[in-house]
Amino acid sequence: MDLNLSPADIAFRDMIRAEIPSMVPDDIKERVENLQHLRKEDYLRWQAILDERGWATPAWPIEFGGPGWSPMQRVLFEEACFMAGAPRQIPHINMIGAVLQTFGTDEQKRRYLPGIPTLRDWWCQGYSEPGSGSDLASLRTKAVRDGDRYIINGQKIWTTWAHWSNHMFCLVRTSDSGRPQEGITFLLLEMDTPGITVRPIYSLDGVHDVNEVFLEDVAVPIENVVLGENQGWTVAKFLLNTERTEIAGVGQSKRLLQFAQRLAERLSESGVSSVRLDAFRSQIARIKIDLRAHEWTLMRVIAAAPGDPTAPSASILKLCGTDLLERLSTLLMDMGGPVGITYDEDARNGRAEGTPPYGHMLNGTSATYLEFRKSGLVGGTTEIQKNLIYRETVNRWGAQ
């Protein structure tokens, strides 16, 4: 495969890199570069800015209001945004957008797609459940048909941004016959429907991003089914592949690597011993090499024809991407030393005035380290990804 960018891709990359930095508001960039927790308003402002340029839905085709970019252009765009200090784009935008465009009815497309680009309609993902772990097929939230509606009872957990959302795409059990995967249905819910209760879960870094969601006699009309009753597993697999490709996180890893390089320069200026600096620089060099290999793997996925048996799977992208994020956050923690361990919750959550008390980045290193401990769980655990890769390898080439 030719890993060189085409002239058109180079022109696109140069255009994006020139324009994105001037688009990011200074206060948002400052919070990002100080590793502070972003607020809902920050995401809304950035999404509105992108929407004005027609860049709010980078994975959407032109027919649905997107820019119609190629996969390579989407990667270049994401990288330019991360390197310019922009917030990470809410992944549900491309996830639910792709689902509705692929499987949705005309009415579902008309009703739901227009509100997604600006986050006027903010979606959360109702997949994980207590006691199910990574075995999504074992979910127990039940939906019983009652005339022209379903009555839902159950619980979802680790639901990111449910407290900010007004919609949820949700997996429910509509049948107990056959294989567990055969009785799952994909439903669209309004979060203000009676019977839905959202309770916060505070993560290790003290931040409220995830939630548990309780559903008690929640009535959802049958027209909110995507694809068909008991066909939700097909939709779920499609969406998870989309999610895991997003979790490849090349741009995010490059941003953290950039932070590590800046921190190394500061340590050098502050008189840190050459032995310690050399150890950090060696780790940075190793991560650079692995990140380049990860980027090439992503490019192989992008360039592969549908059904190409030699193409890496989304599970490989997810596995390698989360490993890099964990290693980079650990490296930043090590480089910060005793100062990097210190944590000020007010500064992390943007409630402190001015510069965080422990300086640029250092206040957020411990929180970032704790935050990325979950990266091996999101979108399917590391162990699950390894199992999937093994099964795929055996199916294609046989056991060795």
Domains 123-231 and 247-397 share a fold: no
208-221 and 142-146 strand pairing:
unpaired
Between the alpha carbon of residue 339 and those of residues 60, 119, 259, the distances in Å are 43, 37, 16
Q: How far apart are CA 84 and CA 73, in angstroms?
A: 16
Question: Cα separation of 154 and 215, whole Å?
Answer: 5
Give ∠ CA 142-238-51 in degrees, rounded to 5: 105
Strand partners, 226: 186
Residues whose CB is less than 8 angstroms from the CB of residue 187 and which lie 6 or more positions away in sequence, other chains included? 143, 150, 152, 169, 170, 171, 172, 220, 224, 225, 226, 232
Task: For domain 123-231, give the fold.
Answer: Butyryl-CoA Dehydrogenase, subunit A; domain 2 (2.40.110)
The alpha carbons of the chain give a radius of gyration, in whole angstroms, of: 22
**Distances from the Cα of 337 to the Cα of 149, 242, 334, 343, angstroms:** 57, 37, 5, 12
Tell me which of 3.40.190.10, 1.10.357.10, 2.60.40.1730, 1.20.140.10 is the CATH number of domain 247-397: 1.20.140.10
> At 98, which amino acid appears?
A
- What is the structure's pLDDT at 267? 86
Query: Are the C-beta atoms of residues 96 and 123 closer than 8 Å to each other?
Result: yes
Query: 155 forms bridges with which residues in the sheet?
Result: 214
List 218's β-bridge partners, or say none. 152
pLDDT score, position 135 = 78
pLDDT for residue 136? 83
Those residues whose C-beta lies under 8 Å from the C-beta of residue 47, and which sit 6 or more positions away, are 56, 89, 90, 93, 117, 118, 119
Gap between the Cα atoms of 227 and 250, Å rounded: 32
Q: Which residues of the chain are modeled with pLDDT < 70? A: 1-3, 133, 243-245, 305-312, 347, 350, 352-363, 399-400
Helix pair angle (71-83, 7-23), 10° resolution: 30
DSSP state of 202: E
pLDDT of residue 206: 78
Cβ-Cβ contacts under 8 Å for 35 (sequence gap 6 or more)? 259, 348, 361, 363, 364, 365, 367, 368
- What is the tens place of the pLDDT at every residue in 75-120? 899 999 999 999 999 988 989 999 999 999 999 999 999 999 999 9
Q: How many residues does the chain have?
A: 400
Sequence ranges of the domains in the chain: 7-89, 123-231, 247-397
What are the backbone angles phi and psi of residue 244, rounded to the nearest 5°? -70, -30
153 beta partners: 142
Cβ atoms of 251 and 81 closer than 8 Å: yes
CA distance 5 to 290: 20
Fill in the DSSP letter of residue 311. S
Cα gap 153→140, rounded to integer Å? 9
Residue 321 exposed, middle or buried by CB count within 10 Å (0-12, 13-18, 19+): buried
CB hemisphere CA count around 358 (13 angstroms): 22
